[in-house]
Amino acid sequence: MNPNKRIIHVLVVVCVMFLSLVTYLLYFNMFQAEEVATNPYNKRQWEDEKFVKRGNIYDANGILLAETEVDGDTRIRRYPKGRLYSHVIGYYSRTYGKSQLEMLYDKELLGHGDITISFNELRSGYDLNLTIDHSLQQYAYDQLGNRQGAVVALEPATGRILALVSRPDFDPAAESLEQNWNAIVEQENSPLLARATQGLYPPGSTYKIATTTAAYEKGLIGTTFEDTGLFEKDGLKVSNYGEKAYGTIDLKQAFSVSSNFVFCSLGYEMGPETVQETAQRFGIGKSFDFDLAMSKSQIQYKTMYPADAALVSIGQGQLLMTPLHVAMMSAAVANDGKMMTPYLVDSITTASGLTLSTTKPSLFSQSMSRDCAEYLDELMQNAVETGTGRNARISGVAVAGKTGTAENETDKDHAWFVGYAPADDPKIAVAVLLEYDGGAGGTNAGPIARNVIRRYLGM
């Protein structure tokens, strides 16, 4: 081969390699550099923290929830409220990294972007001010007790999180975490799982809120049904809870007693397209920005048939939702059909009190019309006054709600209750999930929601 051609070939190869390297470096710096830099397992990050006093975390009333104790070169992250916020604030460990707010707001807690010149002197990170009401968080936690599940409370008009409880939980202190890590991760009840935001469950009859929305829009709310107690179509058999038959019944009565026969019939008649479109408007299958890691509620059918639509319409089949999303569904009714994006971090401030950013409420989805929301509000109030949600009644306060009892892979059903109050001027929406409870939602979850609402309203 001609020597000049060989040189040209070598130059081409070198140029291609050089351009590939440059392209990769540009891609890395534009799309991956920040993620790598803020990764909780990045050892260089821990070196940077030698010169930073990590920011504090406070509740909505200024109660301290997390702080860093400095002892010479040692930084000890303290959680004054112990396990209570293990699924909200998370943990901070040199061995196992960071989780939840400690991870997702790591840059802010370290004060990255602060232009203060420290010359290796200790500087302070930024503080997080949460929307959570510590008193309500503690109360909801105590109400849940030793049962597995979640309690979510939020403000319907804004999406502000008022309480966010998941159990079982764990001690987030680094020393405890590092001593007990193997035992924690091997537990069958998964204490590291933030059930309120990452647990996916069939929502059961709480999802009849969405099905009623579809029926309203299709003009089916005046329909009457002959409820035999057993829905049977295309090989699918679904009984009412307790195998009760309600005879001639309209939609309002069906919602109050939570008739599976009626809502399966509606889902089957409206069909897969309508059921799926309604689910999308309620945010099923959609991601949204939140201050913690979120599992995406979903319908898992590759192809949905009428019988599948019937099952989804009662919150069963391959429909899965997080407790937070179920709370949002109820809050949308309370907020004239507007489903707000939930948020947990109200503001970020410097150690000296300067506000760097404040979260503003934002609309996630217009789930239903105002007229439909008013109709559903009437049905949900009736369900609490005379139907399956009677255990959520509060003297002197109109409560709107919906119960749910969801079948799963075990013989112990999940128990649900979702609702809001006061119905004429909603201040709080609550969802309660009791995982593998084995009882009815109205009987076991309803009283917890009632008590949380009463506590928040100061009753």
pLDDT in tens, 131-157: 999 999 999 999 999 999 999 999 999
Average pLDDT (163-186) is 95
Evaluate if residue 109 carries a pLDDT over 50.
yes
Average pLDDT (305-331) is 97
Tens-digit pLDDT profile for residues 251-261: 999 999 999 99
Catalytic residue flag (residue 365)? no
Tens-digit pLDDT profile for residues 36-53: 555 555 555 556 677 889
Evaluate if residue 443 carries a pLDDT over 70.
yes
CA pair distance 331, 153, nearest whole angstrom: 10
pLDDT of residue 39: 56
**Strand-by-strand arrangement of the 345-349 sheet:** 74-78, 64-71, 57-58, 127-130, 345-349, 355-358
Tens-digit pLDDT profile for residues 378-394: 999 999 999 999 999 99
Q: Which of 205, 295, 365, 367 is catalytic?
A: 205
CB 118 within 8 A of CB 137: no
CA pair distance 149, 433, nearest whole angstrom: 5
CB 94 within 8 A of CB 46: yes
pLDDT of residue 64: 98
Whole-number percent of the chain with pLDDT over 70:
89
Radius of gyration in angstroms for the set of CA atoms belonging to the chain, rounded to a whole number: 26
pLDDT of residue 24: 67
CA pair distance 106, 88, nearest whole angstrom: 14
pLDDT of residue 440: 86
Structure pTM?
Answer: 0.88
Tens-digit pLDDT profile for residues 85-103: 999 999 999 999 999 999 9
Give CA torsion, residues 130, 131, 135, 137, to 10 deg: -90
pLDDT of residue 437: 87
Average pLDDT (193-217) is 97
Evaluate if residue 118 carries a pLDDT over 80.
no
